[in-house]
Structure formats: C-alpha cells, structure tokens
Structure 1
Amino acid sequence: MTNEELHNEMIAAMKAKDKVRLSIVRQVMGEVKNLEVNERRDATEEDVNSMIKRLIKQTSETLEMSRKAGNNQERTETLEQQVSILESLLPAQLSGDALVELIEQTIAELGATTRKDMGRVMGALNKATGGNFDKAAAAKEVGSRLS
C-alpha cells in the first residue's frame, strides 16, 4: 500500500464515519510519518507494508493477552476488529495454485534438489513476493518437493 492509497483510505473512513478504521489508518500514517522524519526520506510501499505487518503482530499479541485474561470482552472484540482492518490494508497473500506455480518455477531456476537448498528457495520466494505469501504452506510444499 502506498502513502497515497493510505491517505485515500483515511478519507474513505472519514466519509463513512468509521471511527475504528480511521483510528487504525491514522496510526499507520503516524508510523510512516515517523519513519520519514527519522530517516529523512520518503516511505516506500515496502516500508508501509512492513509497518502494517508490525502493527498486526503487536495488535495480535495484545489480542492474545486479552483473550487469556478474559475479563473485557468489548476490548477483545475491538482488537479483533483492528487486526482484520490492518490485514485488509495489506495486498492479498499469494497462496494456493499461484504459490505452487511460483515454488516450482523458483526450484527450477535455482536448480534446488535437496533439503539443504530449502533456505535458498524460501529466500528467493520471499524476495520475489516481498514476503507476502503463506510461509507455512510454502515451507510444506518446498519440503515435499526437495528430497
């Protein structure tokens, strides 16, 4: 997601009067602004996506703690909603047949044959997709194809 797309998301949330979505988008935009100020450069699409992933991880951890505590159902529901909003801001993850096809292509390009090559294959997949794929499914598929 680019900075411009993030700004458009904020405007759409304002028009829809969706306070939770607006809050999340503003949080991401604040993180992007901090990066731009601290590193004195414009944030790339990759930077924005990595910030969204980091916020998903943080919010998910808080959600797990809230579920374990089990004393505030409203907070737990809000956190679940925040995680789903953050996930919707990311591009769709590569999975299924498209992922299998990319794995086959990557294995062929690298000439990978043994399990020792699994790290190289996963690294190449990560680079090719920007880390936006189902890693567990990919690892299982790569492992089954390499002997």
Structure 2
Amino acid sequence: MSLLARISGSIRPISFTASRYYTSGAVSAESLVTRLKNDRKTFMKEKKQPNLNVVKGLLSDFTYFTKSTDFVEGSSEEDACMSVLQKAIKRRQDSVNQYEAGGRPELAEKERVELKVLQSYLPEQMSPELIEKELKDIIKEVGATTSRDMGKVMKAWKHDSTTADRKLVSDIVKKLLN
C-alpha cells in the first residue's frame, strides 16, 4: 500500500471540517445546554464545588433523559433541558420541605444552595401581582364565577410554566374564584 493511500484514508474532506465551524444563518442566542457546559468549565477552573456538582448533575440528568424512551425524537433540545431543570428544582424544593420537617436544617440549607444555582438558569419569573392581574382579565373573558370553572381559566392561561409556576397560578385562581 502506498503512502498516499494510507494518508488519504485518514484525511477528512475540507467541506466537512468547514461546515463544523461556520454557520450560514444568523447568530442565535446561547442555548441552555451550551450555557450549562460553559458554566461547568468555568466552575471547574474557579473550583466552585457546590455549583459544579449541581451543573454536572443537571447535565447528567439531561443526557440520561435524551437517551431514555421518554424523549420524543425530533423535539427541541431546549425544551427537554428546561423540563429536566424544572424537575430538578421541584425535587430540591421537596427535599428542603422534608429535611425541615425531619429536623435536619443543615441538609435543608445545602439543598437551598443547590436550588439557588438551579433557579439561576430559569428565565425571569412573573411576579404574583402580574399573574393575579392577568388571571383577573382571563376570569372576566371566560366568565368564570365558581371554583368549578377553574379548568376553563387554567386552559386559557397562555404563559409557559418556565415563566410562571403552575402551582402558584392555580393557587391564585382558587383564591380569586372562592
């Protein structure tokens, strides 16, 4: 076998390597997964162990989720990562409540620190006052009067659960309809 034949088998075509580094479209905002990966590198360099552990765990959960049967092929990577993030936040909130009920304040504080790190990756949340104002408008629009109409109001709620916690929204709807 000639030297040229051995070398040509290991060289990639130029078009392949160029397509990896250049994009043809407009520059998009940094995705959550990319942000997590960049933060992982930063936390490793800065030796921020609690933050690093949280980000590594979140990336691990995301990878596991995308390889599981629950992940729908062709769905958005950003939506999947946001779903994993919200589940991790809910898990930490439950842990804080259980540790406080069990008389373990040191473990509850550790979970609160992790919860703050996770919440820093969420988009800006709506204030309860703004949620209540919008819900009052929806209640008038739908014509809801009793708590039996709560389903209609919740169905008309257009905001994503990443900007407004669904539990908070349902609590406010209950308060307004009672």
User: Shorter-chain TM-score: what band?
Assistant: 0.7 to 0.9
Structure 2 residue corresponding to 1:57, chosen from 90, 107, 115: 90
Structure 2 residue corresponding to 1:99, chosen from 131, 147, 171: 131
- 1:81 paired with 2:78, answer no
- 1:114 paired with 2:145, answer yes
1:87 to partner: Cα distance: 1.9
Deviations for 1:78-120, whole angstroms, at most 9, x for unmatched residues?
A: 22211221222222221244323432443355x2332232222
- Structure 2, unmatched stretches of 5+, are 1-30
Q: CA RMSD in A?
A: 3.1
Structure 2 residue corresponding to 1:7, chosen from 3, 15, 37: 37
Q: 1:3 to 1:144 in 2, by over 3 A?
A: same
The aligned residue for residue 33 of structure 1 is 63
- Structure 1, unmatched stretches of 5+, are none
Structure 2 residue corresponding to 1:66, chosen from 85, 94, 99: 99
1:139 to partner: Cα distance: 3.9
Return the structure number with greater relative CO, CA threshold 8 A, min gap 6: 1
Alpha-carbon separation, structure 2, partners of 1:35 and 1:119: 30
- 1:44 paired with 2:77, answer yes
The aligned residue for residue 163 of structure 2 is 132
TM-score by length of 2: 0.62
**Max Rg structure:** 2
**Contact 1:95–1:134 (CA<8 Å) still a contact in 2?**
no
Identical positions, percent: 22
Q: What SS does structure 2 have at the residue aligned with 1:66?
A: helix
